[in-house]
């Protein structure tokens, strides 16, 4: 999340020293690996927990054990606001870790104030990390102007999972066992209706109640399928296409009618409904793939169908960044470049967790083609749409919560979509007039 509005740069600076001690203590646990006794230790902060945390630990063990020059010592901090606030304070004080993970959508809020250092694209290219090895949208997201601030490990899009047994009984699979193509809102509603007719509960599981991020993920997928994106220039006003926004939100309202999908489902109840075989379709992020496979479901997955003309999917990326250091050790920094290149080249296991590796040699490999259902939605990496860039947007941000607060009653109680979108626009225009608290000049704009 972006730092809370009341957290000034002065408070970042005054908290940095205390934070540095906290981070040191958190990182003292030993990391298994085969790095030599003379290897340099690189401090790596990330916010990955649960299954993702386990997978990342495996990747770190692999890179630590494959060479003798560096040893990664990870520090795992709480997801969301705690992580981003602590990272900002450490960078403001110039005592940050050597490398960190951020959501790509959050970088624009941190770079203008000098909280992040830039990557040397020439050095990266020497290590086989360049634009040619990434989907265009994913690579380009790392730039602000001409400077590269983040390098994506993955794309993690919003997708559509489906139970092949239930969908097969509903007659909505083709000869290859994949969902029949649909190309309009009405066709998708009819597909869900067919699945609902043979499901124990609903045709589609989609949990959103109290979760602005879930509402935003689906909404922005549908909105960008109109072939447009929101523009949020600093100072405002927000550039939002009213017709596209209204069509997208109205469709979501139609979907949640308590027959096709539950009108009052939260995230966990939607997971439980699909995981227990009581629904045939599931709108979710790729990060839920492993838990569904562990449930023993007969599942497949695909990108969300193109309902409004332009293939597009909401996504974010876990991305490597260089938190600002007042006097970086050049030898350690060069080893950070090697570490990132090593992780990217060895990121196949990250794909097994459901994410789409950003490094194309991995996703274009014969082994990845056999990894199912991941290979069935890999094209999403070419179609990703991130949050509209602004200092207050991005994964886990207040922006997504504000969207949920504005539109939840449209989905839950049938409130007027146009009025809800008007409230959302007013809130965003207010935010656009507020300076970025991480930027001492207050000059951070919305354009990346």
Secondary structure in 3-state letters for 22-73: HHHHHCCCCCCCCCCCCCEEEEEEECCCHHHHHHHHHHHHHHHHCCCCEEEE
Phi, psi of 269 (to 5 degrees): -70, -35
In a domain, 168, yes or no: yes
pLDDT, position 4: 31
Task: Specify whether 323 is located in the same domain as 296.
Answer: no
Has residue 446 got a pLDDT over 90?
no
Task: Specify whether 241 is located in the same domain as 142.
Answer: no
pLDDT, position 56: 95
At residue 357, the 3 state secondary structure works out as: strand
Has residue 442 got a pLDDT over 60?
no
The enclosing domain of 27 has a CATH number of 3.40.190.10
In a domain, 411, yes or no: yes
The token pair that represents 164 in the structure block: 């092949």
Least confident of 85-99, 197-211, 246-260, 385-399: 85-99
pLDDT, position 50: 85
In a domain, 137, yes or no: yes
Total domains in the chain come to 2
pLDDT, position 37: 67
Residue 50 — left, alpha, or beta (φ > 0 → left; ψ -120 to 50 → alpha)?
Answer: left
Specify the long-range contacts of residues 67-70, CB closer than 8 Å, at least 24 apart. 67/35, 67/338, 67/342, 68/34, 68/35, 68/36, 68/38, 68/39, 69/35, 69/36, 69/39, 69/40, 69/335, 69/338, 70/35, 70/39, 70/40, 70/41, 70/42, 70/335, 70/338, 70/339
pLDDT, position 246: 98
Task: Specify whether 163 is located in the same domain as 219.
Answer: yes
In a domain, 212, yes or no: yes
In a domain, 438, yes or no: no
In a domain, 42, yes or no: yes
Task: Specify whether 213 is located in the same domain as 244.
Answer: yes
Task: Specify whether 211 is located in the same domain as 140.
Answer: no
The token pair that represents 428 in the structure block: 């965003």
Task: Specify whether 326 is located in the same domain as 374.
Answer: yes
**Host H or E run for residue 403:** helix 398-413
pLDDT, position 441: 60
Task: Specify whether 191 is located in the same domain as 266.
Answer: yes
pLDDT band at 444 (very low <50, low <70, confident <90, very high): very low
Task: Specify whether 301 is located in the same domain as 325.
Answer: no
Choosing from 356, 378, 400, the residue where a domain stops is 378
Task: Specify whether 71 is located in the same domain as 167.
Answer: no
Kindly report the three-state secondary structure assignment for every residue of 246-308: HHHHHHHHHHCCCCCECCCCCHHHHHHHHHCCCEEEEEEEHHHHHHHHHCCCCEEEEECCCCC
Has residue 318 got a pLDDT over 50?
yes
Q: What's the whole-number mean pLDDT along residues 266-271?
A: 97
Has residue 226 got a pLDDT over 80?
yes
Among residues 54, 109, 62, the alpha carbon closest in space to that of 85 is found at 109
Least confident of 5-14, 157-166, 249-258: 5-14
Task: Specify whether 145 is located in the same domain as 112.
Answer: yes
pLDDT, position 85: 87
The answer to whether residues 248 and 421 touch, using CB atoms and an 8 Å cutoff, is no
In a domain, 237, yes or no: yes
Give the chain's mean pLDDT: 90
What torsion do the CA atoms of 434, 394, 140, 237 make, to the nearest 10 degrees?
Answer: -40
Task: Specify whether 82 is located in the same domain as 177.
Answer: no
In a domain, 345, yes or no: yes
What torsion do the CA atoms of 385, 282, 405, 399 make, to the nearest 10 degrees?
Answer: -20
pLDDT, position 95: 80
Query: For residue 106, what are the domain limits?
Result: 9-155+316-378
pLDDT, position 19: 39
pLDDT digits 0-9 by tens, 140-179: 999 999 999 999 999 999 999 999 999 999 999 999 999 9
More confident residue, 25 or 92: 92
Q: What's the whole-number mean pLDDT along residues 2-20?
A: 34
pLDDT, position 42: 97
Has residue 335 got a pLDDT over 80?
yes
pLDDT band at 36 (very low <50, low <70, confident <90, very high): low
Task: Specify whether 134 is located in the same domain as 189.
Answer: no
């Amino acid at each position: 999340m972006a730092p809370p509005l009341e957290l000034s740069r002065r408070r970042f600076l005054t908290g940095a020293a205390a934070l540095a001690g906290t981070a040191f203590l958190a990182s003292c646990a030993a990391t298994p690996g085969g790095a030599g006794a003379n290897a340099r230790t690189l401090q790596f902060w990330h916010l990955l927990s649960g299954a993702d945390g386990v997978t990342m630990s495996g990747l770190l063990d692999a890179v630590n054990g494959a060479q003798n020059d560096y040893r990664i010592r990870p520090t795992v901090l709480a997801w969301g606001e705690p992580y981003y606030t602590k990272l900002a304070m450490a960078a403001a004080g110039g005592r940050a870790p050597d490398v960190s993970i951020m959501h790509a959508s959050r970088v624009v809020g941190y770079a203008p104030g000098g909280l992040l250092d830039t990557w040397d694209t020439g050095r990266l290219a020497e290590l086989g990390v360049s634009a040619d090895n990434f989907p265009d949208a994913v690579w380009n997201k790392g730039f602000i102007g001409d400077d590269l601030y983040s390098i994506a490990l993955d794309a993690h899009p919003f997708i559509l999972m489906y139970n092949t047994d239930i969908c097969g009984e509903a007659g909505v699979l083709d000869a290859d066992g994949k969902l029949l193509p649909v190309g309009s809102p009405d066709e998708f509603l009819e597909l869900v209706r067919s699945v609902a007719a043979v499901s124990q509960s609903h045709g589609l599981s989609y949990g959103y109640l109290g979760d602005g991020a879930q509402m935003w993920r689906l909404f922005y997928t549908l909105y960008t399928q109109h072939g447009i994106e929101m523009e949020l220039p600093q100072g405002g006003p927000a550039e939002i296409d009213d017709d596209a926004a209204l069509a997208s939100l109205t469709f979501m309202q139609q979907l949640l009618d308590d027959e096709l999908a539950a009108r009052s489902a939260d995230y966990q109840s939607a997971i439980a409904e699909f995981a227990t075989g009581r629904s045939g379709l599931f709108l979710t992020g790729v990060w839920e793939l492993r838990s569904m496979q562990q449930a023993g479901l007969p599942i497949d997955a695909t990108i969300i169908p193109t309902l409004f003309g332009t293939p597009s999917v909401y996504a974010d990326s876990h991305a490597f960044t260089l938190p600002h250091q007042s006097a970086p050790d050049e030898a350690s920094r060069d080893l950070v470049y090697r570490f990132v290149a090593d992780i990217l080249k060895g990121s196949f296991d990250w794909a097994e967790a459901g994410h789409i590796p950003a490094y194309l040699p991995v996703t274009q490999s014969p082994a990845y083609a056999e990894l199912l259902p991941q290979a069935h939605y890999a094209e999403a990496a070419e179609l990703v749409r991130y949050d509209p860039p602004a200092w207050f947007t991005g994964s886990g941000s207040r922006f997504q919560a504000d969207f949920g607060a504005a539109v939840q009653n449209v989905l839950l109680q049938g409130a007027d979509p146009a009025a809800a979108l008007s409230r959302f626009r007013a809130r965003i225009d207010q935010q656009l007039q507020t300076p970025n608290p991480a930027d001492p000049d207050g000059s951070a704009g919305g354009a990346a």
